[in-house]
Amino acid sequence: MIWNETKECMSRDEKIVLQSARLVKTVDRVYHNVPFYRKKMQSIGIEPGDIRGVEDLHILPFTTKADLRDNYPFGLFAVPQSEIVRVHASSGTTGKATVVGYTRKDLEIWSECVARALIMAGVTRNDIIQVAYGYGLFTGGLGAHGGAEKLGATVVPMSTGNTKKLTTMMVDFGVTAIACTPSYLLHIAETLEESGEIDKIRLKTAVCGAEPWTENMRRQMEERLHIHAHDIYGLSEVMGPGVACDCEFHQGLHVYDDHFLPEIIQPDTLEAVEDGETGELVFTTITKEGLPLLRYRTRDLTSITYETCECGRTLPRISRFKGRSDDMLIIRGVNVFPSQIESALLEMGETTPHYMMIVDRVNNLDTLEVQVEVGENFFSDEIRELEKLTKKISHVLQQAIGLAVKVKLVEPKSIERSMGKAVHVIDKRHLV
């Protein structure tokens, strides 16, 4: 089934006309309402009139996560604060959050996009869906919730944190669909297997996102839970979950390009790459009111195709993500930069600046261990003091990144010194 056939199956020519009109409006609006963009455009000598359609997209300036941070909290909003009806926030690299804002119309478009994704995944108004993303500042919970309500499904707003209650309700309510992170779904599968309830569930669809996952994980969850699992993509800066999703043919994720204009660029030269070639995904939002962004660099590496899908949609498709053009890690759905760990450790002043992050997946849940060298200046010969230090570091890091961190003290010089770019992360999850 297709939620919005007009938009999702539109011919390429018609789509370009629609996109161009929306882009021109967006550029005009940000130029006049957002000083940051006006200055940026003026500094490279362009005016709103220079943008006549999508063919001129490439002359617009880029936007990065740093720009959002520098204009914290509301500096990039393009409407008066009274028009903003909700904000969300994600953790930033330097402790400051990245704040995003939505007008009432933005929320309507967001729920439409999520509804399109859900129906693409086979969820209908007859389904009972558990939304098991975290509710709150994170866009996952409320984003999926809004779309599921728009669709007319029966929504169970589980949030995260109580797997036992989730599985009990899944059985008792006859839940047929779930939205959560892929690693959490595998954890749920395990809980169901252990409790012997796996044969009592009526689940048929899962819409998973907020962290990268593999075909292998899809096969695993499909076999263990007897479901169809779909990949939903999004990022709070652009909107939240529902920027793209894969259909029953699983040939890439359909991007809702009537709202989000995708480009794939070479991260070094910033030049466009050919369709099918891997590069960094860049989005220009063309309907957003609260926080419109021009050419936002997602840092996600993928490729794009404009061929019509077997499902009939003409929406472009992006491939499964092949990594990132920066060093950001997604751990349990939380964005983590090694630099956050580094600055937190340096601020404490009690450790050497050498550290190693070991990311692993144990029982289908991501774990983060940070190894810290015990320098001579803070080596105590009392176990109690060293354990106190371990706890303190762990607490400071948890405050900095919003994730539980296991700290391991290691001997000086045992963390490999690199001649070039320091290696601070060992990711054992083998996702890419």
Partner 1 sequence: MYMKQLSVFMENREGRLEEVLAVLKNNKVNIASLSLADTNEFGILRMLVNKPEAAYNALKSNGFSSRLTDVLAVRLSHRVGMLQELLEAICEVHINIEYMYALSTGGDDASMVLKTSDLETTEKTLRDKGVEIITPEEIGLDFD
**411 lines the binding site for partner 1 (CB under 8 A):** yes
Backbone dihedral angles phi then psi of residue 79, each to the nearest 5 degrees: -130, 160
Per-residue buried b or exposed e for 174-198, using 16+ beta carbons within 10 Å of the residue's own CB? ebbbbbbbbbbbbbbbbbbeeeeeb
Nearest residue (CB) to partner 1, 271 versus 411 = 411
18, 169, 365, 409: which one binds partner 1 (CB under 8 A): 409
Residue 416 as a binder of partner 1 (CB under 8 A): the answer is no
From candidates 13, 382, 418, 421, binder to partner 1 by CB under 8 A: 382
Regarding 408 and contact with partner 1 (CB under 8 A), the answer is yes
Q: Tell which positions 387-406 bind partner 1, by CB under 8 A.
A: 387
Contact region with partner 1 (CB under 8 A), list: 127-135, 280-288, 395-403, 407-415: 407-415
> Min. distance of Cβ 375 from partner 1 in angstroms?
6
Q: Which of 125, 379, 391, 399 binds partner 1 (CB under 8 A)?
A: 379
User: Per CB under 8 A, does 226 bind partner 1?
Assistant: no
**Shortest Å, Cβ 391 to partner 1:** 13
Q: What is the 3-state secondary structure (H, E, C) of 222-237?
A: HHHHCCEEEEEEEECC
Distance of CA 391 to the CA centre of its chain: 30
- Closest by CA to 431, choosing from 220, 245, 212, is 212
In the block, tokens 């779930």 appear at 178
Pull the structure tokens for residue 172: 């008792």
Which C-beta is closer to partner 1: that of 34 or that of 415? 415
Name the DSSP letter for residue 63.
B
306 binds partner 1 (CB under 8 A): no
For position 374 contacting partner 1 by CB under 8 A, the verdict is yes
Does the footprint of partner 1 cover residue 375 (CB under 8 A)?
yes
The full DSSP string for 380-392 is -S-HHHHHHHHHH
Out of 9, 272, 386, 403, name the contact with partner 1 by CB under 8 A. 386
Residues 137 and 400: their CA atoms lie apart, in Å, by: 16
Among 414, 426, 428, 432, binds partner 1 (CB under 8 A): 414
Beta carbon of residue 350, minimum distance to partner 1 (angstroms, whole number): 13
Nearest distance in Å: CB 360, partner 1? 16
Residues 308/21/296/183 CA torsion (nearest 10 deg): -40
Under a CB-based contact definition with an 8 Å cutoff, are residues 343 and 397 in contact?
Answer: no
User: Which of 353, 412 has the CB closer to partner 1?
Assistant: 412
Residue 199 binds partner 1 (CB under 8 A): no
Compute the distance between CA of residue 159 and CA of residue 142 in angstroms, rounded to an integer: 9
Q: Does 99 bind partner 1 (CB under 8 A)?
A: no
Pick the piece of the chain touching partner 1 (CB under 8 A) from 6-14, 148-156, 299-307, 380-388: 380-388
**What's phi and psi for 34, nearest 5 deg?**
-120, 105
Measured distance CA(92)–CA(98) in Å, rounded: 6
Whole-angstrom CA distances from 429 to 49, 190, 244 are: 48, 18, 24
State yes or no: residue 376 binds partner 1 (CB under 8 A): yes
Q: For partner 1, which is the closer residue by CB, 49 or 353?
A: 353
Q: Count of residues binding partner 1 (CB under 8 A)?
A: 18
47 near partner 1 (CB under 8 A): no
- To partner 1, the closest distance from the beta carbon of 413 in angstroms equals 4
Nearest residue (CB) to partner 1, 152 versus 375: 375
Per rule CB under 8 A, is residue 383 in the interface with partner 1? yes
Give 197-204 contacts, CB < 8 A, sequence gap 24+.
Answer: 197/167, 197/170, 197/171, 198/224, 198/225, 200/171, 201/170, 201/171, 201/175, 201/225, 202/174, 202/175, 202/176, 203/170, 203/175, 203/176, 203/177, 203/178, 203/227, 204/122, 204/176, 204/177, 204/228
Asked if 268 touches partner 1 (CB under 8 A), the answer is: no
Q: Does 384 bind partner 1 (CB under 8 A)?
A: yes
All residues at 6 or more sequence positions from 407 whose CB lies less than 8 Å from its CB, including other chains: 369, 370, 371, 372, 390, 391, 393, 394, 397
Q: What is the dihedral of CA 124, 303, 429, 199, to 10 degrees?
A: 20
Position 358 contacts partner 1 (CB under 8 A): no
Residue from the set 412, 426, 428, 432 that interacts with partner 1 by CB under 8 A: 412
Nearer Cβ to partner 1 (311/386): 386
Residues that bind partner 1 (CB under 8 A): 374-376, 379-384, 386-387, 408-414
